[in-house]
Amino acid sequence: MKNCFLLLSLWVSCFLSVSVFSQTSQKPDSLGLPGDNLDLYAVLDLFQKSKTIEEFEKSLNLEKTGINNLDLNLDKKVDFIKVVTKKNGDDFTFILQDAVSEKETQDVAVILVSKDKDKKVTMQIVGDPALYGKNYIVEPKAAAPAATANPGYTGTDPLKAPAPVNTTTVVVESSPVVVYMYSPAYVPYVPPYHYAYYPPYFAAVTVMAVGVYHANHYNNYYHSGGYGNTTVVVNNNNYNNYNNNSRNTSNTVNHNNANGNYNGNRPANTSGNSVNKAANTAGNGGNKAANTGGNTGNKAANTGGNKASATPSTRPSNSPSASPSSSKSSASPSQSKSPSGSGSRGGSRGGGGRGGRR
C-alpha cells in the first residue's frame, strides 16, 4: 500500500511539472483565442503597403506571405478572408470576413481609416471580440524624435524641440493605400467570393501550429516598435455604426469558443485532464492492488476453512460417537451455503435483471 501511494505521488508531480512548464513557456503575446492565428500587427502593416484593396486582399491570402493561418471551422485548412468596404464621406471601414460555412460568416477584424476636418488621416485595426477579446486595437506608432535636446546647452544654435505627438492619433497620409483611397482614381471594391468559391490564387493549405506561426511573426519589426496597442478608437462614430449595424457573428465560432475547441484553449484543458487521468489511474491501480491482496487473503482463508471443516467429515471413523458429530459438521456448511446462494440469485434478479431491461 505504501508503494502505491508513493507511485501515485510521483505520477501526479510529474504531470503537474509538465503542465506548469507548458504554461510558463507560453509566449506572452498569446491570447488563447482564435485570433492567435492572424497577427493584426502584420495585417495592418500589409494594408499600409498595399496599393489597392484588391492587392491587400490577395496578399493577405497568399501562402507565401504567411500572415493568414486562421481556421475557424476547424477543418485543418486555412480559411479565405475577404475584404468588404463601407464608405461614409471621408470615413472608410474595411471589414475582414471569414465564411465559416455556407450560411455563417464571422467578422475577423475591421480597419478604420478616417480623415478629420484638418485633413489628417488616422488608421486603426480593431479585432473582433470573439477572436481577440475586448478592445484589441492596433495602430501605427509615431516615430521617435531623432535627437533629444540637452537642457544644459548654452550655445547659439539650440536644437528645436520636436512638436508634441499624440500617441493615439497617428498621421498615415503617405501610405500607398491611403493615397489611393482619397484620390480621384479610387473605385470601390466589391469582392465576388463566398463560401466554397475562391480566387484561383488561393490555396487552402494546412494550418501550421500556433507556436510556429508566432515564431514567424513576433520577432518582426512591427512587434518591436512599428505598431502598438491601444484601447481607444479614434473614430467612435464610425466604429459604433459598424458594431451596431454591420457586424457578423457565427454560432459555430461561439460554440467552439465556449467549448475550448480552438488551439489556445486545448493545452490547459488537455494538461488538466492528463493530470486527473493519471491520478485516477494511479489511485485505481492502488485500490485494485489492495483489493486484490484482500481478496487473495480472504480466498486463502476461506479455502483453508473449507478444507479444515471438510477433512473430518470425509475420513471414516470406527468410533460410534464420531458419526453423529461428523454428520452435524457436514450439515452445517451445507445449510450456510443455501442462504448465501439464494441471496445472490435474488440480488441478480432484483438488481441486474431489472436494470438491464431499463
Q: Please classify residue 120 by burial: count the beta carbons closer than 10 Å to its beta carbon, then call 0-12 exposed, 13-18 middle and 19+ buried.
A: middle
The set of long-range contacts for 9-16, using a CB threshold of 8 Å and a minimum separation of 24, is 11/278, 11/279, 11/281, 11/282, 12/275, 12/278, 12/279, 12/282, 14/278, 15/271, 15/274, 15/275, 15/278, 16/275
Domain positions in the chain are: 30-144+164-272
Residues 180 and 52: their CA atoms lie apart, in Å, by: 7
What percent of the chain clears pLDDT 70, i.e. is strictly above it? 54
Q: What pLDDT shows up at residue 151?
A: 60
Q: Can you give the pLDDT at residue 234?
A: 81
Q: Do residues 177 and 47 make contact, with C-beta atoms less than 8 angstroms apart? A: yes
Q: Give pLDDT, residue 242.
A: 94
Q: Which residue has the higher pLDDT, 271 or 11?
A: 11
Structure confidence at residue 230 (pLDDT): 76
Strands 121-127 and 227-230: unpaired
Say which residue the cell 479444515 belongs to: 308
Output 96 or 343, whichever has higher pLDDT: 96
Pick 220 or 315 by higher pLDDT: 220
- 130-149: average pLDDT: 78
Contact of 40 with 138, CB cutoff 8 Å: yes
Cα separation, 280 vs 269, in Å, equals 16
Q: Do the beta carbons of residue 290 and residue 11 sit within 8 Å?
A: no
